[in-house]
C-alpha cells in the first residue's frame, strides 16, 4: 500500500524558480497508448532552470485526432494548492499553439495492460502567442472533464490534495498538428487578494478579469474540452 504525503511548500513555486526542474519527475502520456503516433518530451535546461515541452502531434494515424502530454510521475505526492487563488505559468517561449494545464485529485489503478484508467481531470486551456508571457489561471478556469469532455457535477476539485500536474497539447480534430514547443520557466501559485479572488472552482459569481493586460487566454464553451511534459531525455 502506497503512503501519500504532502510535498513541503516553502514558496509559491511548485516547479521552477527556487524549485529545480527535473525531467525524471515527469512522464509521457501520448496517443500512442491508443494506437496513435504522437510523441512528447520534457527537456530541462539546467543553466536557465526551464523546462521545454516539445514533440510532434500526429493526426493522420487516428484520423484527425491526436494528443501528447507530460505529467508528474509520482503517485505518492500531494500538492496543497488551497492557499492560492490560481496558478501562474511563466512562458519564455511559445509557438502559438493551444495547450492545456490539467490537475487531478485522484489516480485510478492502472489497467491490466498498464494503461492509465480514465478519471476526472480538471482542465484549463491557454494560448500564448509567439514571445514571452505570463499565463494566470483562476480556479474557475479549470473545468471538470472525463475523457476530454466537460462534465457537469457538484464535486469541486480538492485543492488541498492535488495528485498530478499535466501539460497537454491536442489536435482538436485537425485544428493543429505537427511539431510543437513550449518553454516553461515556472508554475506557481497566485497569492489570494482579499475580496478579489475565490478558491472555489464551482463559484458561479462574477469575478474580476483574472489575466495580465498583455495576456491572451484562449477559452471556449464547447462540449469537447482540452486535456492532457518521454520522461525528458529525447
pLDDT digits (tens, 9 = 90+) for 35-82: 999 999 999 999 999 999 999 999 999 998 899 999 999 999 999 999
pLDDT at 152: 83
Position 29 pLDDT exceeds 90: yes
Helix or strand or coil: residue 171? coil
- Whether 190 contacts 136, CB under 8 Å: yes
Distance CA 38, CA 35 (A): 9
3-state secondary structure of 141: helix
Q: State the average pLDDT for the chain.
A: 83
Contact between 4 and 74 under an 8 Å Cβ cutoff? The reply is no
211 vs 83: which has the higher pLDDT: 83
Cβ count within 10 A of residue 229: 30
Q: Return the beta strands (E) in the chain as ranges.
A: 5-6, 13-16, 26-28, 39-45, 50-57, 67-72, 77-78, 84-91, 98-104, 120-127, 133-138, 143-146, 149-150, 164-170, 178-184, 186-191
Which structural domains are found in the chain, ordered by start? 5-191 (2.60.120.430)
Report the range of poorest mean pLDDT among 19-23, 47-51, 114-118, 195-199: 195-199
Assign 100 a pLDDT band (cuts: 50, 70, 90). Answer: very high
From CA 196, how far away is CA 122, in angstroms rounded?
A: 22
Whether the predicted model's global pTM rises above the 0.75 cut:
yes
* Greater pLDDT, 5 or 180: 180
pLDDT tens for residues 144-202? 998 878 898 768 999 999 999 999 999 988 899 999 999 999 999 999 986 554 445 54
Mean pLDDT score, 22-45:
95
Tell whether the model's pLDDT for residue 111 goes beyond 70.
Answer: no
Amino acid at each position: 500500500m502506497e503512503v501519500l504525503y504532502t510535498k513541503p511548500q516553502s514558496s509559491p513555486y511548485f516547479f521552477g524558480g527556487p524549485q529545480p526542474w527535473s525531467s525524471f519527475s515527469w512522464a509521457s502520456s501520448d496517443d500512442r497508448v491508443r494506437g496513435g503516433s504522437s510523441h512528447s518530451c520534457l527537456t530541462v535546461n539546467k543553466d536557465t532552470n526551464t523546462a521545454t515541452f516539445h514533440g510532434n502531434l500526429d493526426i493522420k494515424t487516428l484520423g484527425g485526432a491526436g494528443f501528447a502530454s507530460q505529467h508528474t510521475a509520482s503517485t505518492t505526492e500531494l500538492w496543497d494548492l488551497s492557499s492560492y487563488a490560481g496558478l501562474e505559468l511563466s512562458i519564455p517561449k511559445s509557438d502559438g499553439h493551444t495547450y492545456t494545464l490539467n490537475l487531478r485529485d485522484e489516480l485510478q489503478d492502472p489497467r491490466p495492460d498498464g494503461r492509465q484508467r480514465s478519471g476526472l481531470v480538471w482542465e484549463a486551456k491557454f494560448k500564448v502567442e509567439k514571445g514571452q508571457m505570463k499565463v494566470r489561471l483562476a480556479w474557475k478556469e479549470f473545468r471538470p472533464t472525463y475523457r476530454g469532455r466537460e462534465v457537469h457535477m457538484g464535486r469541486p476539485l480538492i485543492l488541498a490534495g492535488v495528485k498530478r500536474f499535466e501539460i497537454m497539447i491536442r489536435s482538436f480534430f485537425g485544428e493543429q498538428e505537427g511539431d510543437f514547443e513550449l518553454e516553461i520557466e515556472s508554475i506557481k501559485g497566485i497569492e489570494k487578494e482579499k475580496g478579489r479572488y475565490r478558491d472555489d472552482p464551482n463559484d458561479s459569481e462574477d469575478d474580476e478579469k483574472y489575466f495580465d493586460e498583455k495576456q491572451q487566454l484562449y477559452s471556449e464553451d464547447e462540449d469537447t474540452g482540452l486535456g492532457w511534459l518521454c520522461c525528458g531525455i529525447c
